[in-house]
Every structure is written in structure tokens, then in C-alpha cells.
A and B are shown apart, each in its own frame.
Chain A
Amino acid sequence: DIQVTQSPSSLSASVGDRVTITCRATQSITSFLNWYQQKPGKAPKLLIYAASNLQSGVPSRFSGSGSGTDFTLTIGSLQPEDFATYYCQQSYSTPLTFGQGTKVEIK
């Protein structure tokens, strides 16, 4: 099974900060990497697919990069509505696997 590991597991940041979350896979997954945002009590929301493609309707302050085993989600300027937990997910092979999550909290 391909494991994906996110870092950090949590972070504190202020509105306006630039935030970077990384995701590392245990083997190459080319660009089969997706990012989701989840707020408490809600279903996850797709932000980025295929490593760098912004899902329709998602603000342009979100961006994704990487290929192979190393990937990054960047929030260009953190907004109040961005405080949430973020998950990466590999869809290269089954079982599809998620990272453990990164909780972004208000500093």
C-alpha cells in the first residue's frame, strides 16, 4: 500500500499569512495527488486535483505543486474561512489513502 504522510500535523497562523503544507508518498504517484479541506461537522471539500489543478469555485489563493513523491499545498494569504483541517490523498493505486491531516488553527 502507498502511504502518504503530511507535515506538519498542525499549525497556528494569522490571517494574511502564507501557509504551506507538505505531503510525501512512499513511492512515486506521478501527479495522482488531491487535496481536501474539511471543517468540523462537514464533509470534505475538493480543493486541488492532480497535484496542481484548482477545482472550480475554489479561491485562487489555494495552489498545489509537486510530482513523484513530494507535494505541497499553499494558501497564499490565509483568510478566516480557511481555518480547517486539510488532507492529501493519493489516487495512483488502491487502496486509495489519505494523509493524517493538517489542522490549521488561528494564532
Chain B
Amino acid sequence: QVQLVQSGAEVKKPGASVKVSCKASGYTFNSYGINWVRQAPGQGLEWMGWISAYTGNTIYAQKLQGRVTMTTDTSTSTAYMEVRSLRSDDTAVYYCARGLRLDYAAPFHYWGQGTLVTVSS
């Protein structure tokens, strides 16, 4: 069965970086894209970006452009999402989600369990 298992919770100081991993199993990793979505405490869902596990091509949300990098390691079927220059409003649960298809427009079919990132001095 398809599983996305994310790395554990992180506590970071403002200005630091965080890198969250998402290890996939149960399917051919490079046949699908991975999206990253975050949810601030008590708030709604925010799309951060998409990466093709086939080509490595990325599309980032404009508001995060320059601070976020998404990568994949096909040898370990793992996707990574790094946010730099963390601010307090980056405090959120971060989710990886696999689409129904490879392209960025694919509905988010499978989700990781979420990783809480807390930014606090």
C-alpha cells in the first residue's frame, strides 16, 4: 500500500532553516509528483509547491520563492522540502502529498502524516 512517512517535529529559531523529509513506499516513486502543503495552527491549507519525481522540475508558490527548495532522491524514494530564513509565521504542520498523476494539477491522493515545525526564539 502507498505510504508517505515524514520526518519528526522540529523546533527552530527565527532565521534558521528546516528540512523535512517524506519517504515514499508502495509505488513507483518517479511516476508521480509530490506537493507540499502547510497548515498554521487553527488555520486553513496553504499550497507551497510541487516537484516532479520524474524530472525534478519544480513550481513554487510565489510568496515562498527564494526561501523554499524542494528536491527528491530517487535512490531512496524520498522527497525533501527546505525552508530557509524561518519566521514565526512559518510555524505550521507541513504535509507532503502525492498526486493522482505526475503533473502539478493532479488531486492530492495520498498524504504524509504531517510534520510540526515550530519557529520560536
| A31, chain B: closest CB distance, angstroms | 11
In the assembled complex, the Cα of A29 lies from the Cα of B94 at a distance in Å of: 26
Q: Interface residues of A toward B: which range? A: 20 to 34
8 closest Cβ pairs, A-B complex: A43-B111, A49-B107, A91-B105, A96-B47, A98-B45, A34-B107, A95-B61, A101-B44
B44 neighbours in A (Cβ, 8 Å): 87, 98-101
Q: What residues of chain B have their CB less than 8 Å away from a CB belonging to chain A?
A: 35, 37, 44-47, 50, 59, 61-62, 95, 97, 100, 104-109, 111-114
A44-B37, A87-B45, A91-B104 known; 10 new pairs, CB 8 Å cut-off, are A32-B105, A44-B95, A46-B109, A49-B100, A55-B109, A91-B105, A95-B61, A96-B105, A98-B44, A98-B47
- Which B-chain residue is minimally distant from A48 (CB atoms)? B107
Q: What residues of chain A have their CB less than 8 Å away from a CB belonging to chain B?
A: 1, 32, 34, 36, 38, 43-46, 49-50, 55, 87, 89, 91-92, 94-101
**A97 B107 Cβ-Cβ under 8 A:** no
| B20, chain A: closest CB distance, angstroms | 14
